[in-house]
Amino acid sequence: MIEVGKKAPAFHLADGDGEKHRLSSYADGYVVLYFYPKDDTSGCTKEACAFRDLHPEFSGLDAMVFGVSPDPVASHAKFAAKYELNFPLLADEKDDKGTPPLCEKYGVWQEKSMYGKKYMGVVRTTYLIAPGGKVLQRWDKVKVPGHAEAVLAAIQEDQSNG
């Protein structure tokens, strides 16, 4: 996991439309990087829709929201279209070792357990990156209800203290 106050690792990933995004391109504003396990599953859909519904507020605070999962570009495109998502979903596709590189860099690719079976997967985590590229806040093992609102409130608080 990247600690608060540390420089956020760079990324260069494609979204559902195939457009590439770099962290450095958004250095003048806030970046919300929320990592989620899988497109079109119940918790991930609720989280994406919460960020979608608050998108005008995030935009008004000069904040760019990105969802990140190991799903491929085509899956992201379908998921975004189905729920009319108004922000990019970045495809952090697995490498030759079966590991999504950005998820690993950010420490969210961890051992999980379901029905007694252990496997590697994305632990729902959100990073708020401040203008300039340092981690301002991190939410671990995110519970979806109220989460997008909490991220928005953290940006508002940072701006009012700035």
By annotation, the residues acting in catalysis are 44
Alpha carbons 13 and 43: distance in angstroms, whole number: 23
Tokens 């760019």, residue?
A: 64
- The residues that bridge with 65 in the sheet, in sequence order, are 32
Instruction: Answer whether 61's CB lies under 8 Å from 26's CB.
Output: no
Q: Residue 54 CB: number of other CB atoms within 10 A?
A: 16
Instruction: Answer whether 83's CB lies under 8 Å from 42's CB.
Output: no
Lookup: tokens for 136: 């301002």
- In the chain, the amino acid numbered 101 is P
| Phi, psi (degrees; rounded to nearest 5) at 34 | -110, 125
Instruction: Answer whether 129's CB lies under 8 Å from 135's CB.
Output: yes
